[in-house]
Structure 1
């Protein structure tokens, strides 16, 4: 049985102050509450003991001295923290795509997507404390600029600890990165790989080759994975009906959405929602294997 506690009330998410877009708290969602979709970024530092956090239906056990980066739109729930945790929240769009070397914070991929062990956790703990204190101070442009520079230093430190697996100059890596960015915008509107290839000015074969090289999955599977993930997020964390979720994701008929969802997860949308809310011992199905 998962160590996470499941309640029926929607989980309130924390938000950073508008004047800076950066703030601090203990956890981004109320511990023990139901799943929530995060509105911004959250860097969660586990200081003592361990924390159980579920992000996009994957359970992470965050030991002392680790940091977990939760991205906007991800489905999140947290267990009751047994020890001390600290979270830095920041909104999307604070940094341009080329502003931080080797790191575009608003891209879905990046460091600390799984708990990242810190060689010197006290350094990051002190940085979190400074950020939290400054974010609670008097709003003014100098304070906002200081917060932004402090956050940039933290994000670059995380990138240095966990560099990209694929070199920036790798052709297939660059192709897949462009594909991912376009997919984040386009998945509610089209699931055709041909459409993405045309927009990126390449062939379907090129996208498939890049996808297989980076993920082991075809371009079509990458697209379907993204749509299925969003469906699971909306079913688990919102009161939207199954038909509404299907329409949001571009399915004109609920039956077509149901067939797609069952193919991807092995459950109907209704079964998934009921099984997830019930906290079943069997776990929550993920993406199809490449051989499926």
Structure 2
């Protein structure tokens, strides 16, 4: 194990608390994720979350995709995603951690799928580990010596989840195209605010436009240009739904100096204007993106090198 400095202890303070350190592991309930009662609109996440539904039925909206929830449903939400949970009496145990919580441990959170419905022995094992982590985080809150225990408990939990049989569709088969697509996703995550030109990404990756297009078609069935534009549209949807930033400012953040250009782009990609999308954000799943997007955990986590 490699550690740097004095790690912060895990705590049971609010999961939405902006004071959380990057190495803290926090447990809580769904209600802890929102500043007030209810989920009137999505929230933007700045930490990884594991959400294990323990009671009730409802729906989680993760990046504007509906995920049915019932006891045994496990969600992995990533920093930057938009999340809203809806449903009467929908309860869950939530585990949250910052980017440095697993530093030095041989575990990749991105290997954990976005959505699993646990059953049988797998469910028993995961529920036991989540419950024990929550108990220890509560019992040993503010005890620095407990940090190593909680870090390793989280690492074991994530490793177990990554080893579960995968029943999800849409994961790319191993191959050159999948590797190229992963590299493109990483570059797009770094640069989508500055350029949407496939030629720029091809130059950064040292390959041809044709190679990128072939890789995107093989993995997603869509062109490289569509993949890039969909990432920009997704970010626009997140900011429109979860923030009160002016629409023109959001457009400028995403590389559109002129609001009219941003409006045309958004309407083409999503199917409604930015203003209409924002006006409907308090309604469950107000608008679905026109083109399907790859699941958030496939093919490779945007934003993680």
Counting only pairs closer than 5 Å after superposition, residues 28-177 of structure 1 correspond to structure 2 as 29-30=33-34, 31-80=38-87, 82-95=89-102, 99-100=106-107, 103=108, 105=109, 110-120=111-121, 121-136=123-138, 137-139=140-142, 142-163=145-166, 165-168=171-174, 170-177=175-182
Q: Over residues 68-87 of structure 1, what are the superposed CA-to-partner deviations in whole Å (9 max), with x where a residue is unaligned? A: 11111111111245254111
Is 1:258 aligned with 2:263?
yes
Is 1:14 aligned with 2:16?
yes
Q: Calculate the aligned-residue CA RMSD, in Å.
A: 2.6
Q: Over residues 78-123 of structure 1, what are the superposed CA-to-partner deviations in whole Å (9 max), with x where a residue is unaligned? A: 12452541111111244469932xx4x3x5xx53323433433232
TM-score when normalising by structure 1:
0.83
TM-score when normalising by structure 2:
0.80
Q: Is the 8 A contact 1:13 1:38 kept in 2?
A: no
Q: Which consecutive residues of structure 1, in runs of 5 or more, have no partner in the other structure?
A: 1-11
Is 1:24 aligned with 2:35?
no
Q: For 2:245 and 2:44, how far apart are their aligned partners in 1?
A: 13
Q: For 2:144 and 2:173, how far apart are their aligned partners in 1?
A: 37
Greater length-normalized contact order (CA 8 Å, ≥ 6 residues apart): 2
Distance apart, 1:18 and its partner CA? 2.7
Q: For 1:265 and 1:186, how far apart are their aligned partners in 2?
A: 21
Count of matched residue positions in the alignment of Structure 1 and Structure 2: 270
Q: SS at the partner of 2:106?
A: coil
Give the one of 185, 194, 199 matched to 1:194.
199
Q: For 1:13 and 1:19, how far apart are their aligned partners in 2?
A: 13
